[in-house]
A and B are shown apart, each in its own frame.
Chain A
Amino acid sequence: MKTLLLAEHDNKVLKESTARALSCAMALQGEVDLLVVGKACRPVAEQAAQLAGAARVLLTEADCYEHMLAEPVAALIVELAAPYDAILAPSTSSGRNIMPRVAALLDVMQISDATRVLSPDTFERPIYAGNVIETVRATDAKKVITVRTTAFSPTASGGNASIEVAAPVADPAISAFESEEVHVSARPDLTGARIIISGGRALQSQENFTKYIEPIADRLGAAIGASRAAVDAGYVPNDWQVGQTGKIVAPDLYIAAGISGAIQHLAGIKDAKIIVAINKDPDAPIFQVADYGLVADLFTALPELAGQLEPLHA
């Protein structure tokens, strides 16, 4: 059994989702090689080499890989696929974009969002917005798998894998990067955050997110999320949405403020260790899953909470 894992990075920093997906890859009980593909991304390969459990790091650098476009990256992975029994990627927007293309080119049916490895060919994955768990056995000789990273712990560091250069392949040159708009934030990523505070439609405005949610996030070093209703109302950017069609999160502490708890939202937070709900409606469904519920008006409770938290020292 030999596995290739596509690393997630921004050409500078290796993302934690890679270390989490590596745990899944190691559960396949074989050697795991990491593939770092990008532009001028050797520092990422050096970070990847330190992950405990990586046998080798393959490094492929070229201009066409800078933005991880599916067409050139899939062509490269297909070229490298022959010696591997399984090809994995974290189920990020990048992994979900690239891997099915790889799978089709290899004539393999992909396993999306694996949450558990039962044996090297048998996996659990959530369906119906997480309402049902499906156990599937892959009959293809080669497996292509995306990994629900919140279901796996990151591997430790302390490894010392060798870095080998793999040559780029011809860019199909049918797609091109035009521009990007990245929300720069000093706060942690939602998907890797230890603490998240999310607001719902009850916040009523963008200004109220700033006034009521941000002070608590600042003091806790937390990421900020939102319900679909708050995103649709335009209070916060789209990529703050937590839920089945947004970000799947698994923090130690999830604080839901003014979120009623639609099934769609709950599907995205069910792996949180502790859920706190603050809502003035005592019958809100969020209280049925919350470890601690506070029935209160958030415009009173949130400032009180902020006032009793120590400012975070950098």
Chain B
Amino acid sequence: MKIIVPVKRVADANAHVRLKSDGSGIETNGVQMSINPFDEIAVEEAIRLKEKGVAQEIVTVSIGRPEAAEALRSAFAIGADRGLLVTTDSDVEPLAVAKILKAVVDEEKPELVILGKQATDYDCDQAGQMLAGLLGWPQATFASKVEVKGTDVLVTREVDGGHQTLRLRLPAIITCDLRLNTPRFASLPSIMKAKKKPITQKTLDSYGIDAKPRLEILKFSEPPRRKAGVKVKSVPELLDRLRNEAGVL
């Protein structure tokens, strides 16, 4: 089986994200960028399926400016086989991402597409479900366990209040939650090897897809900050304040 894993380059989870001084966007100058952590989990899961002999080839795809190739290299370093970079200078919304990925799927004909459940920049949590809708494929979001069984895949999902296991007919879409696996560390030799893995580059325009944003971003702002309150000296003082000052007990 062939697996496609889309990856996105985002601000590193440990980076301090702040607004540009004029409020026009997020300051990315000098900010460490990484592969979206949920996408890394998706790559790891695909590699495990390859190691089990379930999958033969893992193709990773990224959409964005030329620097997005770095996310592909991160996926290569832990084991993806080849990459496709769809270049564009504009930000691409999840709906357009799903349309581009549909075109890629039509071309590559994978049996599985595994995605991160959300990108940690815009936190949309949409692309996988949208791709499933456009393809008419079944979907299992927020996966915490994946098991391919013949022509089906069994996926355990993290849902409010517990877990749910679904049986999807292949081909299918899976989005990963945090605890599906712990991605392996890329060794130095594998990082070196990653530099030689092939990346096919295509322009977004070559797909003939209307990727014009549907949401107009009017403003970015800082959320109201909570302020530190008081330090209490003892448990009785804490209870007294909760009862008589805050009125929450």
Residues on A facing B (Cβ under 8 Å): 67, 69-71, 74, 92-94, 96-105, 107-113, 122, 126-140, 172, 174-183, 189, 191, 195, 220, 228, 231-232, 237-239, 244-245, 247, 252-253, 270, 273-276, 287-296, 301, 304-305, 308-309
Residues of A within 8 A of B127 (CB): 100
Asked whether B219 is an interface residue with its Cβ less than 8 Å from the other chain, the reply is yes
Q: A109 and B95 in contact (CB under 8 A), knowing A126-B223, A189-B161, A274-B246?
A: yes
Segment at the A interface, from B63-71, B72-80, B82-90, B133-141: B133-141
Residues of A within 8 A of B126 (CB): 100, 103, 110, 112
Residues of A within 8 A of B178 (CB): 228, 245
Are A104 and B166 within 8 A (Cβ)? no
Q: In the complex, A287→B142 CA distance in Å?
A: 32
Chain B interface bracket (under 10, 10 to 19, 20 to 34, 35 or more): 35 or more
B21: shortest Cβ distance to chain A, in Å?
Answer: 14
Cross-interface CB contact of A130 among B125, B168, B223, cutoff 8 Å: B223
Are B161 and A108 within 8 A (Cβ)? no
Are B231 and A287 within 8 A (Cβ)? yes
Asked whether B93 is an interface residue with its Cβ less than 8 Å from the other chain, the reply is yes
Cross-interface CB contact of A136 among B17, B130, B168, B215, cutoff 8 Å: B215
User: Majority SS of interface residues in chain A?
Assistant: mixed
B120 closest partner in A (C-beta): A129
Asked whether B214 is an interface residue with its Cβ less than 8 Å from the other chain, the reply is yes
Are A96 and B141 within 8 A (Cβ)? yes
Additional pairs, 20, CB under 8 Å, beyond known A136-B217, A175-B166, A180-B159: A70-B141, A94-B159, A100-B128, A104-B98, A109-B93, A126-B223, A132-B223, A135-B217, A135-B218, A253-B248, A270-B226, A274-B248, A275-B229, A288-B228, A289-B227, A290-B229, A293-B231, A293-B232, A294-B232, A305-B238
Asked whether B239 is an interface residue with its Cβ less than 8 Å from the other chain, the reply is yes
Asked whether B122 is an interface residue with its Cβ less than 8 Å from the other chain, the reply is yes
Cross-interface CB contact of B215 among A109, A176, A183, cutoff 8 Å: A109
